[in-house]
Amino acid sequence: MLTTNDYALEIRRLRTVFPGPDGPVPIVHDVSLAVRPGEMLAVVGESGSGKSMTFLSALGLVARPGRVESGQVLVDGLDLVGLAPEALRACRGSVISMIFQDPLSGLNPVFTVGDQLVEVLKAHSKMGRREARAKAISLLDRVQIPDPQRRFDDFPHQFSGGMRQRVLTAMAIAHGPKVLIADEPTTALDVTVQAQVLDLIDALRRDTGMAVVLITHDLGIVARHADRMAVMYAGSVVEQGSVAEVFADPRHPYTISLLRSVPQVEGPVDADLMSIRGQPPLPGSIRQGCPFEARCYLGQGRAVCLQTRPPLEPTDAPQHLSACHFAKVLHAEEALA
């Protein structure tokens, strides 16, 4: 059994709420996740399932009137939930950092890439300008930007999309974080450039032991790059396990539906795969029972599914978790037949 110290990041029962007409509505619903040093955890799930919100919550970046109601976010033995804003700011960007989904939030068009990188470096350390410049150039080199001395003085618009993503990656790793959260870092890029950026992230985690959480819609990317995966549905993690196990023996009907929409796992898979029949429930509309019940081909109408919300629990394998009442008797082959 792993102890807390074996994880670079451990999120325990994190719950984030927004006010609703009948009281607080959970948007992140008791999410538990963990990632080890050097490992890549992929987080998948259709749009609105709470992937971004989970990690914005973990970093204390939920905009009001949203708030983290309960849970723990352990990084390096420190619980980020409840930290004073100043202490939290000190952790963000140093021990844990995030590449945000919104590409506009990343780089400021009016400053050179080098100046922005220097700012990031000086934010968490007492570096002089000259030292910061040298470090910034070595970071640009680290993320494989050709001719970094010269590119230091270029503005963001002089970089291609893939190169801008590399600059953002350089900023995120500037202080050698233990955990990097990358929220759809390659969605806007073409397939070849996507692969280069992901290969870079893979190289960085291999070389530094940094843990990576990769939020993505693309199951092909998950299959090629991640060690473990968590599947989110309507604000909850519904399945979590090694990529090999979840692909070979999925134990949640939602995961099975997602995988069924993929013609084959081997080979090129680059479509947006997070689409299955029906709509996810609106936040707050599920008062009891399984949030997937209305779309489930298996449990639909069954009393236990209507009445009891299934907890995320180990299947036959201790590290493979599922939140389905029928996880232990669920066999993909039968379901797919």
Ligand X SMILES: Nc1ncnc2c1ncn2[C@@H]1O[C@H](COP(=O)(O)OP(=O)(O)OP(=O)(O)O)[C@@H](O)[C@H]1O
Contact between 57 and Mg ion per CB under 5 A: no
52 binds Mg ion (CB under 5 A): yes
How many Cα atoms are found within 13 Å in the side-chain-facing hemisphere of 164? 21
Q: What is the DSSP letter of 329?
A: G
Phi and psi angles of residue 169, each rounded to the nearest 5 degrees, phi first: -65, -40
The CB-of-215 to Mg ion minimum distance in angstroms stands at 6
All residues at 6 or more sequence positions from 197 whose CB lies less than 8 Å from its CB, including other chains: 162, 165, 166, 169, 185, 186, 189
Contact 217, 231 (CB under 8 A): no
Least CB distance from residue 128 to Mg ion, whole Å? 38
Residue whose CB is less far from ligand X, 18 or 159 = 18
97 vs 315 by CB, closer to ligand X: 97
What is the x/- site pattern for Mg ion, positions 5-44, by CB under 5 A?
Answer: ----------------------------------------
Q: What are the residues binding ligand X (CB under 6 A)?
A: 18, 27, 45, 47-53, 63, 66, 101, 283
Task: Record the tokens describing residue 236, joined without a space.
Answer: 């909850």
- Residue 8: name the closest of 83, 89, 92, 78 by CA: 78
Q: In angstroms, rounded to a whole number, what is the distance separating the alpha carbons of residues 318 and 324?
A: 15
Cβ of residue 21: shortest distance to ligand X, in angstroms?
Answer: 13
How far apart are alpha carbons 161 and 103 in whole angstroms? 10
226: left (phi > 0), else alpha (psi -120 to 50), else beta?
beta
- Given ligand X, Mg ion, none, residue 50, with its beta carbon under 5 to 8 Å by kind, binds ligand X
Q: Considering the complex, what minimum distance in angstroms separates the CB of residue 82 from ligand X?
A: 22
Least distance between ligand X and beta carbon 20 (Å): 9
| Closest residue by Cα to residue 256 from 322, 307, 303 | 322
Using rule CB under 5 A, residue 97 touches Mg ion: no
322 sits near Mg ion (criterion: CB under 5 A): no
Q: Which does 114 bind (CB under 5 to 8 A by kind): ligand X, Mg ion, none?
A: none
For the bound state, the minimum distance from the C-beta of residue 184 to Mg ion, rounded and expressed in Å, comes to 6
216 binds Mg ion (CB under 5 A): no
List residues near Mg ion by CB under 5 A: 52, 101
